Structure 1
């Protein structure tokens, strides 16, 4: 708002660059424009301050569709005072010199005009739409209809108001109807989610089956290799046993042959010794055959004496001498 300073005879006013200040004295405009600063007499001056910056107005209203469904429209209208001098003449933007504030409520009047005009255009459009059409294509249609209608509104143009932009933020039905409309979509989304879950589970099961098959194939391969290993080990053991048996047999045969050879050698040696003894005995017998009987007795007595046990004392009786002489004489 404008800044007013009071002095004894005259007052001073200063406005911002976003405020259009109009000074009228005796029905004639003395000062007019943004960012004004001047002296004035409070008794003869009429001051009006019109904001020229862009302002936004939030709208929230209800409408009824062709199928008798209630919808709420949330929109935002951006506007500005395109002709501040005209606005100052049509609306009460007059300042109270003592307080520096508006005497009336001009912005509320503008907001009411914009709300009623925007609401009227939206209602006219939504009346011909069903609820489904309003929810699917209503945002763009309502925004275009409100922008066109507000831009061509004669009352706004006559007041110096220019609509800069119109945005429709939301167009929603009643809560119960909205939940009912969301149910099929939610069910569809849930079905898609369930389908994705089932597909993911099926894929997981398929991967687990493939992994199990790979593990089973690996076990079969390991079992086959283990069987080959057992067979190879058995063959090696049999070969080792066969080689050991053959080696033992050869060793036994060698020992038997050695024993046989030793036995043959011993037999041959015994035979040769026996033959030599026999020849010696035969030669001795041949010598004894030509000897005298007395010599043979003497030799026999000598041999007998060699084999007799040691005698410590000998007693000879006459009978023994007689018997010996008798035998000797024979």
Structure 2
């Protein structure tokens, strides 16, 4: 709002950069501009302040669809005062020269005008659509139709306004009716969710089955490999046993051959030794054949004496000597 400073007989007005002030005196425009600051006489000046910034007007528009159902659309209209002097002539934006406040409610008038126009265009746009089409078609087509209709409306241009655009927040039906319309979609979504859950479970079961089959295949393969390993180990053990048996047989045969050779050598040595001893004995006996008996007896006594143990004392009694001589005599007689 404008700031007015009071002085005796005169006033000073200072406006914001987004306010357009029109000063009339005797029905003639004396000053008109944005962000003005000037002196004026309160008894002769007629002042109007029109905001020139962009403004938003939220409203709720009710309409009836082609199937006679009530719907509610949340609409936001963006607008601006394009021609402030024209607006000041068509709407009451006059301000009190003493306080700088509006003497009327011009923004309410603008809101009523734009609200009626936007609601009418919403009703016209939804009149040819069914309830399901109005709710499910989205807000884009409705926003485009309402914006185009407001831009082409002559009353808006005649008031000095410029509509920048319209936004549609939502199009809603009665709560019970909307829930009834949402039921098929909810059921379909629930069915989709259940089908997705079933598919996930089926996929999980399929994955578990694939994992189990893979594990079984691995176990079968491992069992086959283990069987091959056992067979190979048995073959290796048999080969080792055969090799050990062959080596033992060869060793036994070699040992037997050695023993046989040793035995043959020992027998040959014994035979040769026996033959040598026999030959020696024969030669000795042959040598003794022509020796006289007394010589042989003396040799025998010498041999006997050489083989007797050491005698410290020898006592000869007549009886022992008689027996020895008797035996010696008996030997000669034979």
Normalization by structure 1: what TM-score? Answer: 0.82
Change (3 A) 1:189 1:280: same
Aligned to 2:41: 41
- Check 1:141–1:307 CA distance in 2 against 1; reply closer, same or farther (3 A cut): closer
- Structure 1: segments with no counterpart, 5+ residues: none
2:94–2:102 CA contact under 8 A, matched in 1: yes
Pair 1:228–1:8, CA change in 2 (3 A): same
Query: How far off its partner does 1:100 sit?
Result: 0.7
Mark the CA change 1:238 to 1:141 in structure 2 (over 3 Å): closer, same or farther. closer
Aligned to 1:254: 254
**Quick check: 1:186 aligned with 2:194?**
no
Give unmatched runs, 5+ long, in structure 2. none
The residue aligned with 2:115 is: 115
In the TM superposition, residue 119 of structure 1 has moved relative to its aligned partner by 1.5
State the distance in 2 between where 1:328 and 1:116 align. Answer: 184
1:314 is aligned to 316
Q: Distance in 1 between matches of 2:217 and 2:329?
A: 118
Aligned to 1:258, what secondary structure does the other structure show?
helix
SS at match of 1:53: coil
Mapped partners of 1:90, 1:190: distance in 2: 57
Aligned-pair CA distance for 1:299:
6.0
Determine the C-alpha separation between the residues in 1 that align with 2:142 and 2:292: 178
Alignment deviations for residues 9-36 of structure 1 (CA, whole Å, 9 cap, x no partner): 2222233443232222233332233333
Answer with 138-147 or 68-77: which moved more: 138-147
- SS in structure 2 opposite 1:97? coil
**1:87-145 deviation per Cα after TM superposition (whole angstroms, max 9, x unaligned):** 32332222111111011111111111221222223224434432012113473454344
1:29 equivalent in alignment to 2:22? no
1:62 matched to which residue of 2?
62
Match of 2:53 in 1: 53
Deviates more, 1:84-93 or 1:147-156: 147-156
Indicate the larger mover: 18-27 or 51-60.
18-27
CA change 1:20–1:323 in 2 (3 A) is closer
SS of equivalent to 1:239: helix
Give the whole-Å Cα distance in 2 for the aligned partners of 1:245 and 1:40: 138
Partner-residue secondary structure (3-state), 2:314: coil
Rounded to whole Å, the distance in 2 between the matches of 1:87 and 1:321 is 191
CA–CA separation in structure 1 for the residues paired with 2:332 and 2:48: 206
Output the CA distance in 2 between the equivalents of 1:105 and 1:271.
161
SS at match of 2:318: coil
Partner secondary structure for residue 230 of structure 1? helix
Q: Evaluate the alpha carbon distance shift between residue 300 and residue 133 of structure 1 in structure 2; reply closer, same or farther with a 3 A threshold.
A: closer
Per the alignment, residue 100 of structure 2 pairs with: 100
1:1-330 aligned within 5 A:
1-137=1-137, 139-286=139-286, 290=290, 312-317=314-319, 323=326, 327=330, 330=333
Query: What TM-score, normalized to structure 2?
Result: 0.81
Tell me how far apart the structure 1 counterparts of residues 149 and 328 of structure 2 sit (CA, whole Å). 193
Structure 1: distance between partners of 2:182 and 2:202: 29
Check conservation: 2:57, 2:78, Cα contact below 8 A: yes
Q: Distance in 1 between matches of 2:114 and 2:18?
A: 21
Deviation string, structure 1 residues 246-291 (Cα, Å, up to 9, x no partner): 2222222222222223322333333333333434444455455555
